[in-house]
Amino acid sequence: MGDLEVKYQKLLDYLKGLESVAVAFSGGVDSTFLLAAAKEALGDNVIALTAKSCLFPESESGEAEEFCKNIGVKQIVLDLGDTELPSFQHNPPNRCYICKKGLFQKFLEKAKENEMVCVAEGSNMDDLGDYRPGMQAITELGIKSPLRAAELTKAEIRELSKQMNLPTWSKPSFACLASRFVYGETITKEKLAMVERAEDLLREQGFRQFRVRIHGTNARIELLPEDIPRMLDGELRKEIVDKLKRYGFTYVSLDLEGYRTGSMNEVLA
């Protein structure tokens, strides 16, 4: 048995030890893999909890719903009003802590209503390297992190997902739209919609891994380095600039450093 198989068995054993679990399920690479593993380990003693709000694109919720139906897991969707929390809306550096604390408190309540022993989330070993205040809330609330317990990395999760024929194995990494805002800038539904439309446009143009960061009404586009030359094509560049300005952006810039996770954290000491 290879190292990957050993880690997967460790994950299944960990999940079986939980007896029953409500999985925080977004439809991304990690939570999809975790939900599939939980279904294998626990059968009907697993449910999926999905948050619905303006922080997540509509396309994500549709894919999540379809996956739950396909594997026969009950999904409960909680309609949230994240941006209505003043402390969150003002976007301090611990914004993710505020959001996750409120969200997972709701998840714990819903898990109890459905007689689930605990709540689990999909962070992996790679998530330990960046500034992630949301992890503090996870720890404080006693939320389980099975993928970290099994010491699985993102690359290993993708490889196992491929072996399990999960549709997300090659899906680009995604984070909530609030992560596109510079700290201290007020998060509004209008600006979230601007970012979502801009990123939808890049996806329609065939770009796979990217971010559109918002600074006031200025857009800063992050692309994989190999995709930057394509963006410089005159016709495509003009189309994207024109459309982003129609969406409400004043200026559109291309970040020459390229796509990277947590780029908004670079200003933090």
The per-residue pLDDT string of the chain (269 residues; one tens digit each, 9 = 90 and over) reads 679 999 999 999 999 999 999 999 999 999 999 999 999 999 999 999 999 888 887 767 788 999 999 999 999 999 876 555 667 788 888 888 988 898 999 999 999 999 999 999 999 998 886 667 888 999 999 999 999 999 999 999 999 999 999 999 999 888 889 999 999 999 998 999 999 999 999 999 999 999 999 999 999 999 999 999 999 999 999 999 999 999 999 999 999 999 987 777 776 65
Per the CB < 8 A criterion, the answer to whether 141 and 121 are in contact is no
* Domain ranges in the chain with CATH number 3.40.50.620: 3-163
* Domain ranges in the chain with CATH number 3.30.70.2210: 177-267
pLDDT at 52: 86
Q: Are strands 218-223 and 210-215 parallel, antiparallel or unpaired?
A: antiparallel
d(CA 233, CA 83): 37
Burial of 119 (0-12, 13-18, 19+ CB in 10 A): buried
pLDDT digits (tens, 9 = 90+) for 165-206: 999 999 988 888 999 999 999 999 899 999 999 999 999 999
- Sign of the alpha-carbon torsion through 185, 190, 191, 192: positive
Which entry of 54, 68, 96, 176 is annotated as an active-site residue? 176
Whether 176 is catalytic is: yes
In the chain, the amino acid numbered 229 is P
Can you identify the CATH homologous superfamily of domain 3-163? Answer: HUPs (3.40.50.620)
d(CA 269, CA 253): 25
Provide the whole-model pTM: 0.87
| 251 bridge partner residues | 218
Q: Are strands 21-24 and 118-120 parallel, antiparallel or unpaired?
A: parallel
pLDDT at 86: 67
pLDDT at 1: 61
Which architecture characterizes domain 177-267 according to CATH?
Answer: 2-Layer Sandwich (3.30)
Among 197, 253, 25, 198, residue whose Cα is nearest residue 120: 25
